[in-house]
Chains A and B, each alone.
Chain A
Amino acid sequence: MLKVEEQTPVVFSSELLAKFDEVKNRYPEGKQKSALLPLLHLVQAEFLWVPTSAMDQVAEYLNIQPIEVYEVATFYTMYFLKPQGKYALEVCRTGPCCLVGAEKILSHLENKLGVKEGEVTPDGLFSFRGVECLAACGYGPVLQISPEYTFYENLTTESVDKLIEDLKNKI
C-alpha cells in the first residue's frame, strides 16, 4: 500500500466501469495494460484524486499487480495522490510564462486564497500549484482547472480575482 492518508475504499459505479470497458477495447488482446493512464484519468475525474483503494481496483480490473499502478500514478504529475480542492488550479511556471508575469500570478493566488501551494482552502473549494509548461506559451500566463482542464489565458491579477469569484458563485 502507498503511504497516504486513507480512507474508506471507493466504489466504482457501473457507469464508470462501462467507460473502463470502452477504453480497454482500444488495445489488442492481452495489451490491456495500455488502458492504465486513461483509466486513472477517469478515476480522477470521478473522485477528484486517485485514492489507493481505487488504484488497487484498477489493478484488479486490468489484471496487473498493484505496484504497476502505483509506479505509474507516482511517475506522472497529473495524478493527485491526495485530495485537492474542488477546483484545483494549476498555473504554468515555466520560462515563457514567467517572461509575461506567471510568478506574480502564483503569489497573487497564494494571497488571495490564503493557502500555500498544495494546500486546500478551509471550505474545500480551492487548491493551487505551479506546474511545468502547459504548451500555451503565446497566451501566457495561463492556468488550467482539473478535472475538465478548462483553460484560462493571458491572466492578470484582476482576471484571476474574477475567476475565483465566478467559481465561488457557481456552487
Chain B
Amino acid sequence: MSRKLLLEHINVPGINTLDVYRQKGGYRAVEKALKTLTPEEIVEEVKKSGLRGRGGAGFPTGMKWSFLAKPEGVARYLVCNADESEPGTFKDRYLMTYIPHALIEGMIVSSFALGAKVSYIYVRGEMMPQIRILEKAIAEAKAAGWLGKNILGTGYDLELYVQPGGGAYICGEETALLESLEGKRGNPRIKPPFPAIAGLYGCPTVVNNVESIAAVVPIINDGGDEYAKIGIGRSTGTKLISASGNLVKPGVYEIELGLPVEEFIYSDEYCGGIANGKRLKATVAGGSSVPVLPANLTLKLANGEPRLMSYESLSEGGFATGTMLGSGGFIAFDEDQCIVRNTWNFSRFYHHESCGQCSPCREGTGWMEKVLHKIEHGHGTMEDVDLLWDIQRKIEGNTICPLGDAAAWPVASAIRHFRDEFEWHIKEPVKSQSQNYGIANYATPIEKAPVAEEK
C-alpha cells in the first residue's frame, strides 16, 4: 500500500465532522503554524516540499506564494480554486464531499502564511451539495474558534467564505475566476499583471487548487523535507488521480508520484484493469486537455522503459510521444471506443466553453467541432484532416488564456496518433456509422522510437 497523506482517514465514519476530524489529528497544522511558525517559515516549508500546483499547470506552489506582493495597508487575498470542470477530473469534489475540514485547515494555514484576512473558496455552481457541506464545516470550525477573530489567541483574524460559480469551465482559469468572483463574466485577464500583484479587487492575490491547499496540511505537520522524500524527482508527494472511462474500478485514488502507469491501470489496489475483460486502446492521462495517447505509449516510453505517473515521465518525449499529468484526470478508452467520436465530443465541449474573447479560440473551436462532426458522421474528406491540423495550429498559443491550447491539443494528438482511424472514417463512410475501427495496432508494443514530428 502506498502512503496516503490526504485520504488516510477518508473511510473513518464521521470524518466530515469537526469532532472526528480532530480526533484523527485534524487542525494540528493550524496550531503548529499559528503558534510556532512565522508566515515566512511556512512559505519556506512549502517551497522545500517541492509541492506543485495540483490544478493542472504544475507550477511550484511555494514559488507562487513567494511572488505575492505585500504593499503596506493593502489587503491580500487567498482564493481557492474549486471550480473543478476539466473533463475527467473529480478529485476535488471527492475531497470536499468526504473530508471538507482538510481543505478548511489548509485554507487557514495558507491564509496565515500569505497574510490574508478574508479568503474565498470559489466552488463551481453545480456542486451545490458540496457548497452546503463546506458551509456547514466552516460554521463548525468557526464555532470552535478555528476561524473568526483572534484564532487560538494569536491575534490572527480570518473569515472564510464559499462563493458559487455559475457554470463555466473557463472560470477554472485563475484570472477568469477572479473576474467571476467580482461578479462579472468569466473573461480571462491579460497578464501581466499577474494576480500576485493585482488580483481580486486589484489587490495581491494567490489562487490555488483545492488539492494544493489540502496538501499544505501534511507539509506543515511533517515538514517540507519529509514531504519531498515521497514521490520521484521533481514530482514530490502524493497526487489524487481521478480515474474514469472503461475501468473495472473507476474512482479517486491517492498515489505516490512515480507509480508505474501499468500498475495504476491493472493492479487491484487501483483501477483493477479494463472493464468487461476488454483491452486498453488509449488514455487521456491528465484531463481532457492533455494529449491522448495510444495504449502502447501510455504504458511505455518511446525507448521501451515503463512510463510512470509523474510530471516528468508522463511528458517524456514531448508531444510527439508523451502527454501531461495535468490535473490527474485519467480517462481510459477500451478497444470498442471511437477516437474520432471522442475528439468531436471534446471539441464540442471547448466550443461550448470558450468565453469568446479571442477569435482564434471562439471561431476555431467551432470550426473544429463542425469538421469533426462531419468526419464522425461519414461526410468527411481527406482534406478535412489537414484542415483540422491547420486550425488547431492557428489556435495554439494565439489566445489570452490556455483554453485555446487545451482545445487544440486533444485534436492535434488524436490526428498525430490515430490518423489511420480518421482516414478509415473517411474511406468507409457507411461502415463507420455502424462499426468501430477497433484497437488496430494501438496496443502493440513499439519497437523503436518513432520519428518525432513537428509540434
Contact status of A76 and B166, CB under 8 A, knowing A33-B182, A96-B331? yes
Taking the complex as formed, is A164 at the interface, i.e. its CB lies under 8 A from any CB of chain B?
no
In the complex, residue of chain B having the shortest beta-carbon distance to the beta carbon of A42: B164
Known contacts: A75-B166, A95-B331, A133-B349. The answer to whether A144 contacts B246 by CB under 8 A is no
* In the assembled complex, B186 has its CB within 8 A of some CB on chain A: yes
Checking B90, B163, B345 against A37 with a beta-carbon cut-off of 8 angstroms, the contacting residue is B163
Instruction: Provide the A65-108 mask, 1 if CB < 8 A to any CB of B, else 0.
Output: 00010011001111100000000000001111011100000000
Interface status of B101 (Cβ within 8 A of chain A): no
Q: Name 18 A/B residue pairs within 8 A (Cβ), A-sorted.
A: A33-B182, A75-B168, A76-B166, A76-B168, A79-B166, A95-B342, A96-B244, A98-B341, A98-B345, A100-B245, A132-B352, A134-B126, A135-B84, A135-B85, A135-B90, A135-B127, A137-B245, A138-B243
Contact at B251–A138, with CB atoms within 8 Å?
yes
Q: Which residues of A contact B329 (CB under 8 A)?
A: 137
Distance to closest chain B CB from A128 (angstroms): 15
Chain B contact residues, CB within 8 Å of chain A = 75, 84-90, 92-93, 118, 124-129, 159, 161, 163-169, 180-186, 201, 242-246, 250-252, 284, 288, 329, 331, 333, 337, 341-342, 345-346, 349, 352-353, 355
Q: Does A51 count as interface, using CB distance less than 8 angstroms?
A: no
Given A33-B183, A132-B352, 13 more A-B residue pairs with CB atoms under 8 Å apart are A26-B163, A37-B180, A41-B164, A75-B166, A75-B168, A96-B88, A96-B244, A99-B342, A100-B245, A132-B349, A133-B169, A138-B252, A148-B128
A12 at the interface (CB under 8 A from B): no
> CB-CB < 8 A to A138: which residues of B?
90, 242-244, 250-252
Chain B CB within 8 A of A159 CB: no
Cα(A135)–Cα(B125), bound, Å: 12
Contact partner, B288, options A31, A38, A62, A95, Cβ 8 Å? A95
Task: Provide the residues of chain A in CB contact with B167, threshold 8 Å.
Answer: 76-79, 131
Q: Does A111 contact B (CB under 8 A)?
A: no
Please name all residues of chain B whose beta carbon is closer than 8 Å to the beta carbon of A34 when the two chains form the complex. 163, 181-183
Q: In the complex, which residues of chain B have a beta carbon less than 8 angstroms from the beta carbon of A135?
A: 84-85, 89-90, 92-93, 124, 126-127
Known A37-B125, A138-B243; contact A133-B86, beta-carbon cutoff 8 A: yes
Are B128 and A76 neighbours in the complex by a CB distance under 8 Å? no
B-chain residues with CB within 8 Å of residue A64 when the two chains form the complex: 183
CB distance A99 to B125 under 8 Å? no
Q: How far is the CB of A153 from chain B (nearest CB, A)?
A: 11
Do B183 and A37 touch (CB < 8 A)?
yes
- A77 and B166 contact, CB distance less than 8 A: yes
CB distance from B249 to the nearest CB of A (A): 9
- A: which residues have CB within 8 A of B? 26, 28, 31, 33-38, 40-41, 62, 64, 68, 71-72, 75-79, 93-96, 98-100, 131-140, 144, 148-151
Give bound CA distance, A93 to B88, whole Å.
Answer: 12
- Tell me which of A40, A78, A136 contacts B90 (CB under 8 A): A136
- Residues of chain A within 8 A of B75, CB atoms compared: 28
Chain B residue numbers with a CB within 8 Å of A41 are 125, 164, 166
A residues near B243, Cβ cutoff 8 Å: 138
Contact A96 B180 (CB under 8 A): no
CB contacts (< 8 Å) of B184 on chain A: these are 33, 68, 71-72
Partner of A31, one of B201, B244, B246: B201
**How far apart sit A115 and B288, CA to CA, in the bound complex (Å)?**
31
Report whether B129 and A151 are in contact in the complex, using a CB–CB cutoff of 8 Å: yes
Q: How far is the CA of A3 from the CA of B153 in the complex (A)?
A: 56
Contacts of A28 in B (CB 8 A): 75, 118, 201
- Residue ID in chain B nearest A30 by CB atoms: B201
Q: Which 7 A-B pairs have the closest CB atoms?
A: A76-B166, A137-B244, A78-B167, A36-B183, A149-B128, A33-B183, A138-B250
Given contacts A28-B75, A72-B166, contact A99 B87 (CB under 8 A): no
Bound together, the chains give a CA A93 to CA B344 distance in angstroms of 12
State whether B345 touches A144 (Cβ < 8 A).
Answer: no
Distance in angstroms between the alpha carbons of A26 and B86 in the assembled complex: 28
CA distance A100 to B182 in the complex (A): 37
Specify which of A71, A139, A149 is in contact with B129 (CB 8 Å cutoff): A149
Contacts of B164 in A (CB 8 A): 37-38, 41
Residues of B within 8 Å of A133, CB to CB, are: 85-88, 169, 288, 349
CA separation between A72 and B184, bound complex, in Å? 6
A62, A75, A99, A151: the one within 8 Å of B186 (CB): A75
Which residue of chain B has its CB nearest to the CB of A96? B244
A75 and B186 alpha carbons, distance in the complex (Å): 8
Distance (whole angstroms) from the CB of B327 to the closest CB of chain A = 10
Interface centre among A33, A96, A131 (most CB of B within 10 A): A96
Q: Are A132 and B353 touching (Cβ within 8 A)?
A: yes
User: Inside 8 A of A68's CB, which chain B residues have their CB?
Assistant: 183-184
Residues of B within 8 A of A31 (CB): 182, 201
Instruction: Judge whether B337 and A137 touch: CB under 8 Å.
Output: no
Q: What A residues does B353 contact at CB under 8 A?
A: 132
Contact A78 B288 (CB under 8 A): no
Which of A33, A94, A139, A148 sits near B345, CB closer than 8 Å? A94
Q: Tell me the complex Cα distance, A68–B183, Å.
A: 9
A156 to chain B, nearest CB (A): 15
List the A side residues contacting B89 at CB < 8 Å: 135, 137
The complex places the Cα of A136 from the Cα of B252 at a distance, in Å, of: 10
Do B88 and A144 have beta carbons less than 8 Å apart? no
Give every chain A residue within 8 A of B88 (Cβ-Cβ). 95-96, 133, 137
Instruction: Give the residue name and chain of the B residue nearest to A33 (CB).
Output: B183
